A and B are shown apart, each in its own frame.
Chain A
Amino acid sequence: MSDIPASVAGRPELQALWHRHSFVELDARARAFSLLDEDTGQEYCDPFDRIESPWLEPQGLVPESDDGLVVVKGLLAGEPCVVIGIEGAFQGGSIGEVSGAKAACALQLAARDARTGQPISAVLLLETGGVRLQEGTLGLNAVAEILSALLELRGMGPVIGVVAGPLGSYGGMSIVAGLCTRVVLTHEGRLGFNGAQVIESEAGIAEFDSSDHALIWSVNGPAQRYATGLADAVVLDDVPAVRQAVITAVAAGVPEHHRSEELDVLAARLSPNDGGQARFSLPGLGIPVAPSPGQDSLAASHPGSAQQRRAES
Chain B
Amino acid sequence: MQTLNLEYHAADRAARRAHVGVVGSGDLEILFEPGTDPTASVRVRTTVDGFDVVWRRVLDAFFAHHPVAGRYELNDFGATPGIVSLRLLQVQETSRKPAHPESNRI
Contacts and interface: CB of A to CB of B under 8 A. Distances in A.
- Indicate yes or no for A touching B, C-beta below 8 A: yes
Interface of A: 25-27, 29-30, 33, 39, 41, 43, 46-48, 50, 57, 60-65, 68, 87, 89-90
A87 B45 CA distance: 19
Contacts of B25: 89
Interface string B62-98: 0000000000010111000000000000000000000
Majority secondary structure of chain A interface residues (helix, strand, loop or mixed) = loop
B1 A60 contact: yes
A62 to B, nearest CB: 5
A24 B24 CA distance: 15
B22 A89 contact: yes
B31 A62 contact: no
Given A65-B29, A65-B75, A30 B101 contact: yes
Interface of B: 1, 17, 19, 22-25, 27, 29, 31, 33, 45-47, 73, 75-77, 100-105
Given A60-B47, A87-B22, A26 B103 contact: yes
Majority secondary structure of chain B interface residues (helix, strand, loop or mixed) = loop
A64 B104 CA distance: 14
Contacts of A89: 22-25, 27
A110 B23 CA distance: 28
Contacts of A90: 22-24
A63 B104 CA distance: 17
22 contacts: A25-B103, A27-B105, A29-B104, A30-B102, A30-B104, A30-B105, A33-B101, A39-B100, A41-B101, A50-B31, A57-B45, A60-B47, A61-B1, A62-B23, A62-B45, A62-B75, A63-B23, A64-B29, A64-B75, A65-B19, A68-B23, A89-B25
Top-10 shortest CB links A-B: A89-B24, A30-B103, A64-B23, A60-B1, A89-B22, A47-B19, A27-B104, A62-B45, A62-B75, A26-B103
A50 B23 CA distance: 14
Nearest to B33: A48
Contacts of B47: 60-62
A60 B2 CA distance: 8
Nearest to B49: A60
A62 B105 contact: no
Nearest to A46: B19
Given A62-B75, A65-B19, A90-B22, A47 B104 contact: no
Contacts of A29: 101, 104
A39 B101 CA distance: 9
A165 to B, nearest CB: 14
Nearest to A26: B103
A63 B103 CA distance: 21
B22 A27 contact: yes
A279 to B, nearest CB: 43
Nearest to B25: A89
B75 A63 contact: yes
